[in-house]
Structures are given as structure tokens and as C-alpha cells.
Structure 1
Amino acid sequence: MNHFMKTRFGFVYFSMFAFIGIHMPFWPVWLEYKGISPSGIAALTALSFSLKIIFTPVVSNIVDRSGQRRKAAIILSLGLFVSLLVFSKTNEFIPIFLLTIFSFACWSPIMSLAESLATVTAREQKFDYGKVRLWGSVGFMVVAVSSGKLLAIFGESALLWSICGAAGLLFVSSCLLPKTKVSLIKSEEVTILAFFKSKWFVSFLIATTLIQGSHAGYYTFGSIHWRAEGLSDQIIGILWGSSVVGEVIVFAFGRVLLSRLGPVNVLIIGGIAAALRWLMIGSTDSIFLLLVAQCLHALSFGACHFAAMQIITNKVDASLSSTAQGIYSAFSMGLGMGIFVLLSGPFYSLLSGGTFFVMSAVSLAGTLCLLLLKSIEMNKISHSNTLKDMGRAMPEGT
């Protein structure tokens, strides 16, 4: 039963990151193929991230009240799949803009719902979350590389159908999610604002938002910068792939790292690694040094995300886990990414590779917030105390 459960979640993570593995590198390419201007592409890309700010915490909170996490994931993934099919009939900015709102409103909460189910089930059935989550990294790597080859053979028109295929796979995997039961909460017992009464949760949010937001310059202009530095598309593909290899290793062995160092310390290490990574990418065109910098993705994203999941699992009651995951996703993957994606355009126009130095400073700012977090005692957030003063707490102990 335990092995079957891990297989189901592994399939879900593979499907989610297969979608990301096509969308993140190649959605701008498809938009350009449809005749969207560079400023329009930047706006649509930022929109796809920013929708998390609204929809993820709201949907997650509704789901915590109903307990229907699996049903919500199925409905949302079906909505994503159908709306992406409609993109094939669009050629103008306004219809694409409106479809982007609907499709990525559906996409935005799915990961936090799956993460909530995975972390709660992993705790109940005592399996290693990291060894399930690593299949997401494998899915990203496999699909990103194969989509590049698909683009070379069939051209840009094939990209949309690949994205639709990934969304269809996500719908199928969502249907296999378990009906994990958690205690329901009454609507009056918790609100999203209650989380912001917690001093440690606010510090945690600011820190992770800055550290993950610092990746925006890389996601938006990493490949463009490397091409400007004279690197071939094949080398650039290897650089992207090498980053995910390190991430797989972290998710395979991250549980040991967290148990020895504690999740807050792991977040600090990840923030420092991110700052160093952006400094290296902005200052060298050495393939060897860039490979070293890309291996730091294992810490700047992989270890940080794993540690964040551990903090939420340990310090937020299971009945509120979807809400906590939703808020975390909305800020770190939505607000931070959306803001810095928009800012990275003007920064890159002015500074070129110097943009990565700015991103390094952003990550260091997040790391300083984590040092503040270490000085705050962390209590477990539950529906029985969400309306109390969240500043009072027990020691973190993790």
C-alpha cells in the first residue's frame, strides 16, 4: 500500500513538472510564434505567475473548509486542459490574455493542493516526501529536453499540443490522488489573515519570496544572456539540465540533511547558494564555472523548497495545510516571481548580465530575513489558535 501510494504521488509530481518543463522554457516561444510582442510576452508571462497571488490562497482556504482536495485538483486540471485546447483558435493578444487568466487561474492552486496531500499523506504513512518529489524534477528534465528536440523537428506549432498533452497527463494523475482525510474546519475558525498574525510565518514568507523571486532573472533571461555570451544552444540545454540533476539528488537525500541541520538552517544555506549562483552566472562565461553555478540550483531551489515544505508540515496543523501551502505558493512562486519577472526586463535592458548581481542582492536580503526568523520562537499554527497572538510560541525544535 505504501509503495503504491508513493507511485501515485510520483506520477502526480512527474505530470505537474512535465507541464512546467514545457511551459517555462517554451511558452514565450509559442507566444512569439503567435505574433505577440516582447512587451506582451513579458506581461503574459508575469500574469501567469501573478495569478497565484489571488487564486492559490483563496482556493486553498476553500478546500481546507470542505476537505475536497482531490476533487478540486481534478476539476482544476480538467479546466486547465480544456482552456489550453482553446488557445489553438486564438491569434490576437486580447483572446490570449483572457485565456491566460482562466487557464492559469486553474493551474495556480494545483501544486499547493498536491503538496498538501503529499506532505499530509507522507506523515501519516511514514514515507519520504523527497523521494516522491524528485520525480517532479525528473519530469521537468525529461520533458524540457525532449520538447527542445520536438521544437527543432516540428516547429513552434507543436509546442501548444505538447503543453496540452502535459495538462492531459496532469488530469489523469489528479484522478489517482488519494482521498486523504483531514479534520474539517468551520468557516469562522480560520481566515487567511490569521496566518499573518504569526511573526514567524510572515518572516518565513518574506524570506522565501525574496529567495525564490531572485530566480526570475535566470528564468527570463538566462538563456538569452548565455547566447549573448556566445554559448551554443546545446551547451545552454546542458546547463539547464545540470541544474535539475542536482535537485534530484537533494530530494533523494534531503531528509537526512533536514534532520541534521534543521529546515531554517537549510533555508539559510539555500539563500547563500542562490546569491553565489547569480554572482557566478553574471560574471563568467566559463562552461565549467557555469556548471558549478547550475549545480547550486540543488540548494537555491531544491533544498529551499524541501525545507519550506518541512516547516509547513511541522508547524501548521494538517487541517490548515492547503491554506498554508497556498499562501506560500502565492507569495514565493506568485508575488515574488511576478514582480521580479517584470523588473528583470528593464534591469536587463540597462545592465545586461549585471541583472544577476541585482538578483544576488535580492537573495541576500531574503537570507537576512531568515536570520531574523531564527530569533523568533515558532509555534504550531492550528485552527484552535489562529485567532490568538501568533507571536507567542514554543521553540522551533526542528
Structure 2
Amino acid sequence: MSLASQAPAREDAPRWFPQRSALVFCAPMIVNGTVLPFFPVWLETHSLNDHQIGVILAVPMVVRVIFAPILAMFADRMEERTGILVWSGLLCLATAVALFWTQSFWPILLVFALQGAVFAPYIPVVESMLITGVRRWGFDYGSMRLWASLAFIASTLVGGHLIGLYGGAMVLPVMTVGCIVMSAMGLAAPRIGRVPRRAVAATGKSGQRASLSRFDLHLVMIGSSVVQAGHAMLYAFASIYWAQLGYSGTAVGILWSAGVLAEVIAFFFARQLSRTFGAWTLIRFGATIAVCRWLLFPLDIGYLGYFVLQCLHAFTFAFCHIGIQRRIVDAVHEEQEASAQGAYYFYNGIFMAAATFASGYIYAAFGLHGYYVMSAIAAVGLGCVIVAWYLQPQRAGSGGKTSESR
């Protein structure tokens, strides 16, 4: 039995829980929708080389993965875990403002790394809040999560248009607005309190060994994170490459938005996908598509070709993410929810940081052919997922019986 199936009546939920949760998740995506595709463009305006750009993008990721699991575990021990969101937003705002006064490599690296530290707990805590809504009250994860992706699209389109008009200098003002929204949405977040004792007892009666210490759970999170690390070169250098091809800021924004729109569609159908396919099937399929996506990227495929490859983000990210969130719900108690999200955030961050750091050197040495390395990275992640599936204790082939073996 899935832990999510034990949810009590929705009348117990905070008022407007799905709507408020969706809005809270939109806030950090406004920042990510600007930083992810366009911060490298801002860095180029400061005459930084490919190696320096790779370092500046990678170091904050390392900082995030150090702080995310620590602060997530701290949030699990708070009477109200969402209280951490307000100060995270305010400190992010302070670092965004500080970036206006940075001009060279070391000051930019220092301030951006600090922003990575204070940004670290926001998304894991919001993810844990959404999953709590799934566990306790049976809300649909995908219908709440998709609004964050729509916010990413809007931020990317607006940012791309402004950069097309005024250049890379517009990245910081949009980032600052996003940090203000993060602070405000932290105040609007639904207060869900700590997990009730009766909920802990109920999950403890599940037929599964519900624990964050399960090796197969960590291995599948690692495998999915390695697959996501294969996106590193896309995130770091795709906007620069597309601009070199002569595509406008708006055209580049459309390419980024196409990927996230496809992701939104996948999240919209998340409940139906989960009913039709097992979590393992979603993750394995997404990882397989990732291997193929990066094999095709170096080809001369034109704007339409890149548009189609961006749409594959529905599989390479959304399918993997939906599958992992379902595995977390089924594998751990609610009292460990933020810790589980922090662990997944840690794995995502550490592998993405390593791949981003390496991508600067790989792209400088091989150019577009470096995407073949990204394909190999995704293949390693797929291998980890397959091994994790084989090792899960409730797998039918291991003597257990569960729909999650699919």
C-alpha cells in the first residue's frame, strides 16, 4: 500500500492549501528562470572566460548541496518548517542586491556562492510541503508543481525579452524581483506543523520498510541526479551557443520555455502517468531519453531541431522527478520528508556541480561534441537506476510483491 493512500479528509488541510503551495513554489522559479539560462550571459558582459564561467556556476551548487541537507534536517525539527522560507528569501535578496556592485571574478564568485547557501533550503522545504499535502490530504502533486514550471516559463520569456532589448545587464533586476517575491511568498506559505503522532503510527504499519536509510532509495536518487547532471552543459552554454548562431534573446527564451512547457504538460498528467506506469518505469524511460537527447544535440539540426530537443525535457526531467517523488512518498515517513528532499537536493547539487565545473573545460576543448560526454553521464545514471530497481527489497524477483517493482 502506498503511504499516500492513507491520507485523511481534505477538510483538515490549511485553507487554500493547493493554491498557496503552488504560489510559494512559483517564487524560487522566477529566480531560477532568470539565473539558469541568462546568468552566463551576464557573466560574459564582465569579460569572463569559459573556465571562469564554469567555476562561478559550479561553486554555488557545491555550497547549496552542503547547506541543503543540513537545513532540511533542521526544518524537520522545527514546529513549523515553512518558517525557514522567509529568511531564505530575504538573504537571497541581499545577495542579489550585492551583485550590482561586483565586477570581477572573485567578488562575483563570493557573492554568488553566498546566494547559493541561503537559497539552498527554499526548494527542498517547499517540495516537502507539497508532498505533505499528498500524504495527509491526498492532493495532486502534479497540479501544484506545474505552476512552478509555468512561472519558470514566464520568467524566462520576460528575461529573454528584456535582455534582447537592454542586454545582459537586465539579469540582476529580474533576479532581484524574484527574491522579493520569494520573501513575500514565505509569509503566505500554508502552516502545516509537525507530523501528527497518529500519522507516524499509521505509516509505521505499512507493509514496506519505510526509512530514509534504505540503500535502494538513495541509489535511485543518485541515479536520477546523475541523469540530471547530464543537463550541465546545456544549462551553462546553450544560451551562449544559440546567441552565437544569431538567435535573438526572445528566440533563446522561447527555446528554454519550450522545454519547460513540455515539463508542465507532463506534470499536468502526473496523476494519470503514475496510475498507468510505475515510478521505476518513469525514471528509466526519462533516463533513456536523456541519453538520446545529448547524442542528437551536436548535430546540425537548426532552430526547429533544437525546439524539438528542448521538448524532450518532459521526459529527461519531469518523468524522472515525478518518479523520484513517488518513491520518496512510498519509502519514508512524513517526519523525514524534508530530510529526504534535502538528500535528493544534495545528490542533485553535487553531481550537477561536478558536471558544470567539468563542462567549462569540456566545452572549451570539444565544443558541441562535449554533449557526447553528457550522454555518457546520463547512461551512468541509467545504470544506477537499474541497479537500484534490482536491489529494492520489495521487488517481486526478490520475493516481495508490489506495484512499485514496475
User: Secondary structure of 2:189's partner?
Assistant: coil
Alignment partner, residue 54 of structure 2: 42
Provide Cα deviations, 1:256-307, integer angstroms capped at 9, x if missing partner. 1112211111000000111111112122324343332221100100111111
**1:12–1:170: 8 Å Cα contact kept in structure 2?**
yes
Alignment partner, residue 68 of structure 2: 56
Q: Distance in 2 between matches of 1:255 and 1:366?
A: 25
Identity among equivalent pairs (%) = 26
- Per-residue deviation, 1:207: 0.5
Q: Distance in 1 between matches of 2:168 and 2:250?
A: 18
TM (norm. structure 2) is: 0.86
Q: Distance in 1 between matches of 2:401 and 2:227?
A: 24
1:78-93 mapped onto 2 (5 Å cutoff)? 78-93=90-105
For 1:344, give the aligned amino acid: S
**2:289–2:312: 8 Å Cα contact kept in structure 1?**
yes
Alignment partner, residue 313 of structure 1: 329
Alignment partner, residue 31 of structure 1: 43
- Per-residue deviation, 1:393: 10
The range that moved more, 270-279 or 234-243, is: 234-243
- Tell me which of 386, 394, 403 is aligned to 1:397: 403
Alignment partner, residue 260 of structure 1: 276
2:340 maps to 1:324: yes
Question: Number of paired residues?
Answer: 377
For 1:315, give the aligned amino acid: A
Provide Cα deviations, 1:184-217, integer angstroms capped at 9, x if missing partner. 89xxxxxxxxx88522023113201210100101
Q: Distance in 2 between matches of 1:331 and 1:170?
A: 24
Alignment partner, residue 120 of structure 1: 132
For 1:133, give the aligned amino acid: R
TM (norm. structure 1) is: 0.88
2:265 maps to 1:274: no
Alignment partner, residue 238 of structure 1: 254
Q: Distance in 1 between matches of 2:165 and 2:78?
A: 46
Q: Distance in 1 between matches of 2:99 and 2:249?
A: 28
Alignment partner, residue 240 of structure 2: 224
Q: Distance in 1 between matches of 2:244 and 2:187?
A: 44
2:221 maps to 1:205: yes
Alignment partner, residue 177 of structure 1: 189
For 1:158, give the aligned amino acid: M
Q: Distance in 2 between matches of 1:28 and 1:375?
A: 40
For 1:111, give the aligned amino acid: I
User: Secondary structure of 1:282's partner?
Assistant: coil
**2:153–2:260: 8 Å Cα contact kept in structure 1?**
yes
**1:9–1:177: 8 Å Cα contact kept in structure 2?**
yes
**2:60–2:114: 8 Å Cα contact kept in structure 1?**
no
For 2:51, give the aligned amino acid: S
Alignment partner, residue 160 of structure 1: 172
**1:64–1:184: 8 Å Cα contact kept in structure 2?**
no
Alignment partner, residue 365 of structure 1: 380
Gaps of 5+ in 2: 1-10, 198-210
Q: Distance in 2 between matches of 1:25 and 1:208?
A: 22
Alignment partner, residue 295 of structure 1: 311
User: Secondary structure of 2:77's partner?
Assistant: helix
* 1:73/1:395 CA distance change after superposition, 3 Å: farther
**1:378–1:395: 8 Å Cα contact kept in structure 2?**
no
- Per-residue deviation, 1:234: 4.8
**1:226–1:285: 8 Å Cα contact kept in structure 2?**
no
Q: What is the Cα-based RMSD across aligned positions, in Å?
A: 2.4
Q: Distance in 2 between matches of 1:287 and 1:83?
A: 36
2:111 maps to 1:136: no
Alignment partner, residue 339 of structure 1: 354
For 2:33, give the aligned amino acid: G
**2:41–2:240: 8 Å Cα contact kept in structure 1?**
no
- Per-residue deviation, 1:32: 3.1
User: Secondary structure of 1:180's partner?
Assistant: coil
Alignment partner, residue 348 of structure 1: 363
- Per-residue deviation, 1:15: 1.3
* 1:32/1:222 CA distance change after superposition, 3 Å: closer
Q: Distance in 2 between matches of 1:181 and 1:205?
A: 27
- Per-residue deviation, 1:339: 0.6
- Per-residue deviation, 1:354: 1.3
Gaps of 5+ in 1: 186-194, 380-391
- Per-residue deviation, 1:35: 4.8
